[in-house]
Amino acid sequence: GESVGLHLPTLSVQEGDNSIINCAYSNSASDYFIWYKQESGKGPQFIIDIRSNMDKRQGQRVTVLLNKTVKHLSLQIAATQPGDSAVYFCAETTGNQFYFGTGTSLTVIP
């Protein structure tokens, strides 16, 4: 079956620095990807998505990069703030069922 994994389970960054969270996926047929943010005790919150016909998409302070050749996805957060501290999941799908990675825990150091 599909597997979505993250390279680093934890990441600590200084406030104001940029953060990069990586994700590897195994299903080359996946054509839609989403990054979610989950704060402690809450449900996942949509951050940004990207379709397989794109390799980059930007939002407010966030950028998602997709490299289909190596099946790699990354989330870049600019000027990381304490409120960005959370677990970040990538999710992939070929249709309606999403497959989630284990997540990366981001800690922002003031």
**Contact flag: residue 42 with another protein (CB under 8 A):** yes
Phi, psi (rounded to 5 degrees) for 82: -55, -35
CA atoms of 31 and 105, how far apart (whole Å): 25
Q: Which residue has tokens 């997540």?
A: 103
85 to each of 24, 54, 75, 101, how far by Cα in Å?
21, 27, 14, 18
- Beta carbon of residue 97, minimum distance to another protein (angstroms, whole number): 5
Which residue, 42 or 70, is less far from another protein as judged by CB?
42
**Contact flag: residue 62 with another protein (CB under 8 A):** no
**Contact flag: residue 96 with another protein (CB under 8 A):** yes
- Beta carbon of residue 101, minimum distance to another protein (angstroms, whole number): 5
CA atoms of 27 and 30, how far apart (whole Å): 6
Query: Which one among 35, 44, 64, 84 touches another protein, defined by CB under 8 A?
Result: 44
Using CB under 8 A as the criterion, which residues of the chain lie in contact with another protein when the complex forms? 4, 31-32, 34, 36, 42-46, 49, 51, 89, 91, 93, 95-103
